[in-house]
Structure 1
Amino acid sequence: MVNIIKDRYGYIFEDELINEINEVATIKEVKEGEKLIEIGDYIKLMPLVISGAIKIMREDSDGDELLLYFLEGGDTCAMTLACCMGQKKSEIRAVAETKATLIMIPVQKMEEWMTKYSTWRSFVLESYQNRLNEMLEAIDTIAFLKMDQRLLKYLKDKAMVTRDDVISTTHQQIAYDLHTSRVVVSRLLKALEKEGKIKLNRNSILVKDL
């Protein structure tokens, strides 16, 4: 596992920390659609993403989901870190957007490494900042963009994290992610297709305007 860690995080972490991660962590392979973290769970392991993409969502009081951001290789989830450090129940749901490989680290190591390794502390703080910026962007998108602009941005983001301009999904799943109705999504997708920005296929969408 040392080589896997070095390939993804060797430019960030020193050898001593990489060796400690190797001693206490486990590799986890997840399938597309597999749920990693559920709202209300106590988190015992913190994920570092080696490859693939993970979708992070919140849930409102009615049980409707809202997409916050995606995690890619080299990322970790700031909201997971916050729950780990505070020993709180998870406020997010994490689902594999694609097949992914993760390094799972026991949470008790987190505080120890924060004081022991400056590289780990910098990594955690930078992760907080990156995720905060992405959540602010999500808020701005909801507050200031029209739904058709939100939809196109969502499709572009999804294409970028999956590294594929063909997105395999349903209108209903998009509606869940954007916290809107399937009818609205279907209408807007047809409008975007007429504008030449996408091409609709059965259960997939080709994003032309990347």
Structure 2
Amino acid sequence: MVLVNYIFFKGNWETPFYPDLTVESKFHLDNKRTVKVLMMRHRDLSTPYFRDNKLSCSVVEMKYTGNASALFILPDEGKMQEVEASLQPETLKIWKDSLRFRMIDELYLPKFSISTDYSLEGILSQLGIREVFSAQADLSGITGDKDLRVSKVVHKAVLDVTEAGTEAAGATGLMLVGTALNIHPLEIHFNRPFLMIIYETNTQTPLFMAKVTNPNEK
């Protein structure tokens, strides 16, 4: 028997990107290689933001309509490994507690699509779930056959990030241009590898965690 767990997240941004501002731009894979990607752009976006000087990264929260938000984490150059090693529940709590609304003059974020599947037998065994994979498994409540056991566990995740949200949809974006004077202009370019975490806001439960190293690769 194969156990399949499939999750597909669909959400629309509270403040969609304006499609006419999407342009082709460079994404730096490393210090030497770049690829051309479709780069979405926001102007004068008021959204939660935190600069983590200890871990040398910037954190931007983009809210979905409903009870979900996305955290985009942009490590400084050469700091990705350090930020990844610090991805603990305590770190996420610090980021969430430290987020404050900030006017971002220019936000650049590439369009990307993620589709990944994992075999979880080894991971579940490490967590102590072993009997269901062995001859001692008793799944007779499903078919009446006492010889039934699980031979494979597959988890699949799909995520598309576009101007409208996480799936291409017919939505009209409205670009609002502010007139307030910003003494310290802020521009954030997600033009190098970054992390993304989608979580349910009521329970603060992470739904997706992703590392984007090349937006052109699924």
Which TM class, normalised by the smaller chain length? under 0.3
User: Normalising by the residue count of structure 2, what TM-score does the alignment of the two structures yield?
Assistant: 0.23
Tell me: higher relative CO, structure 1 or 2? Use CA pairs within 8 A at least 6 residues apart.
Answer: 2
- Greater strand proportion: 2
TM-score, normalised to structure 1's length? 0.24
Larger % of helix: which?
1
Bigger radius of gyration among the two: 2
